[in-house]
Structure formats: C-alpha cells, structure tokens
Amino acid sequence: MQDLSRCPRNLLVCERSSFQNQKNRVSAQVEQMHFNYKVSLLLPDCSSAPSHLDKVLKSFSSFYLIKKLPIYKLLNEDFLRSAVYNGSVYGLSYQTHIDEDNCISLMPNGILTLSLDKDSFELLGFEGKPSKFNHRRRSRFVVTVNLTDSCMAPGERRYLRLLEGLKSRLPLQTDFLLSHHPGGGASLDPLLSCCDWSEHQPEVSVRSLTNLSFPVPESCDPHSFLQWLGAVEAGISCENSSNSFLSTLICPEPKTQTDCALSACVSGMLLPQDIQRLIGQLRCHLEQVRSWAVLTVHGFADSPMSWGGREHGFLRGGENFYSLLMSHDHTYQLHLAVGAHDACPP
C-alpha cells in the first residue's frame, strides 16, 4: 500500500529583492513563462477593484481557438512570414494531456515543439530526442524545431521533410489555442482563413472576502505562505474549527486580520505582456494605499514547455506557477514552483 504520508517532490525557488534594483529578475521571469492560463490577485483591505486595476483586468488580449488544426498548417509560408518571423506568436494544443497524448506548442521565438508518443515519433521520421521524463523505457520523444532558422526556410530540405511528415506520415490534428502580441489581427489571417476558429476574451471573476486572517508576509516561510494562499484561492477556511472535516489548515503565525479583501482572477490564454501591465498598475496602486498584494500566475499543466525552453512534465499535478508578493516600498518576494517532472526554474 502506498505511503500517503509521503509528499510528492516539488521544486520551489525563492527570490527577495526590489523593483528598484536594476538587476531584479521579475520582468525576465514573467517573459519566460509563455503559456499562462490563470492569474489570481489578492488585495487586503480592499472591497472592490479600483477603476485602474479593473480596466487592466478586463483588457487582457483575446485569443483564438482553432478546431482540429492540421499541424502542418503551422508551416504555411504566408503564416511564417506574417507572424512567426516577426515574433510574439503563442500557440498551444488544447485539451491534450502531456503524459499520454501528442502535445504541440509554438513559442514567440519561433520554436515549434512536438511532444510525441513513441509510435508517433517513429512515424514522423524527423530527428528528436527522448523526453527527460521517461522512466524505465523510452515511451515519449520531443521534436524541437526553430522555424526561423535558415535551414527551415520554405523549400529547404529540412522544411520539406517535416512538412511531408506532418502531411502524410503523421497527419496530426488537434484543437489549438493561438494568440499574438500585439493584437493578433491580420498577422494571423493566413492561418485563420483556412481553419474553423472562434475568438475568445479571457474571463474575469471578482469576489470580496470578509474577516480574512492572513500571515505577516515578512515573517512567513514561503511554503507556508503558498499553502495559505492556495487555501484562500480555493475558498477553504484556515480557521481550523473543531467541527470541520474538510481541512486542518491554519493561518501561519504571526497573523493579523482584515475586515475585507479582494480576490480577482483572469483565466484564458494569457500573454506575458498583459501580466507585465497588471504588475505595473499594481505597483502604482500599492504606492497610493501603502499596503501589499500578491499575484499568482499558473501555467498550463499540459504545456510541453514551462519556463523558457525547458521541458515540462506532469506526474501528479503538472505544477507550473509563480507567485509575486509585492509591497508598497517596491520590495518583492518571487516564488517559482514546479512539480517533480520539471527542471529547476531558472
């Protein structure tokens, strides 16, 4: 019988610094997380979103859902010229599972990644490497192609080889999420014009919390703080009342209490540039109210990649997120977390 007392391994990298430090890494870390599906915000002593924050929350870029996209169409010459070569294209297979399905991602630097099972990899007939997360046998392979490389230019041998593989030997089709900064629009037309697609706006939800106990951020260790934060986001009480069988979680000591707090969430395919704007507005807000806030960004659990070009695995939960605790004096604590099937965050 499995020992349920043993917790799965996870990786947590913590950084304390100031936005006024020219060497702070916040912007770089935000940019490296390409595929984000949810950003959550917690503001103590706040009952409703200030107008400038509400405007940012509701102005995240729209994204497109393409139904049954033939993957070879990502090699369309017009699409490469209008969008991929110019950078800032984000694409990800939708409702595919990284531990059992073929998954595809297209990063803004033009890197196309195919995470394939063994049979699909052999059918494709294109060079790749075993997944880092194979165990006793090689059952998954990763094909990584830089579409901006000169050897992958339309008409070149490698380009034609991959195109032929995806059209004939392995005609992959999948629902696909696609976005572009800034604004998508005409740059994506060569691909959208030949597909069944729909445009979507990220969903925004806001709720007001009352009588919330919260730890003193400067005195709380990162694991305890993130555990408390997760309970708050999930709506789980940390009061640990004697008649509660749902949770034995308690708010870490030392703690204080606020009469009201604001919890806001944006979900969809979220671009790093929009998250950067939200962080900027939060900094301005905190200067005015002289308080603190915490922003948490979750990456897609089944994305082939996590930070940068690092391979992402799943195992139990597909953890792939970062949390930014910000104060009015411009100091911050940055927590980057992944599960057992990932390399350490950069």
Q: 113-149 pLDDT, tens per residue?
A: 999 999 999 999 999 999 887 766 778 899 999 999 9
Q: Is the dihedral of CA 78, 81, 83, 89 positive or negative?
A: positive
Whether the pLDDT of residue 183 is over 90: the answer is no
259 CA to centre of own chain: 32
Q: What is the pLDDT of residues 259-312, one digit of tens each?
A: 788 999 999 999 999 999 999 999 999 999 988 999 999 999 888 888 777 888
Whether the pLDDT of residue 315 is over 70: the answer is no
* Residue 93, φ and ψ in degrees, nearest 5: -60, 145
Which range, of 13-17, 148-152, 211-215, 281-285, averages the lowest pLDDT?
211-215
Q: Quick check: 122 and 155 in contact, CB under 8 A?
A: no
Q: Which two tokens stand for residue 261?
A: 């707090």
pTM of this structure: 0.89
Whether the pLDDT of residue 216 is over 50: the answer is yes
How many of the other CB atoms lie within 10 Å of CB of 72? Answer: 18
Q: Rounded mean pLDDT of the chain?
A: 87
Residue 206's SS3 state is: strand
Q: How many DSSP H helices and E strands does the chain contain?
A: 8, 15
Which position has the token pair 């595809």?
Answer: 104
Q: Which of 37, 63, 31 is nearest to 185 (CA)?
A: 63
Whether the pLDDT of residue 5 is over 50: the answer is no
Sheet of 140-146, strand order: 129-130, 140-146, 111-117, 103-106, 89-93, 173-180, 63-70, 196-200
Q: What is the dihedral of CA 230, 235, 237, 243, to 10 degrees?
A: -130
pLDDT at 8: 54
Q: What is the pLDDT of residues 75-114, one digit of tens each?
A: 999 999 999 998 889 999 999 998 889 999 999 999 999 9
Q: Which two tokens stand for residue 173?
A: 């089709």
Please report, for residues 57, 71, 87, 262, 263, the alpha-carbon distance to residue 53 in angstroms, rounded to integers and kept in the order given: 6, 38, 28, 12, 12
* Residue 226, φ and ψ in degrees, nearest 5: -70, -35
227 CA to centre of own chain: 19
Which segments of 149-274 are extended strands (E)? 173-180, 196-200, 203-215, 255-270
Whether the pLDDT of residue 246 is over 90: the answer is no
Q: Which of 296, 298, 278, 285 is nearest to 330 (CA)?
A: 285
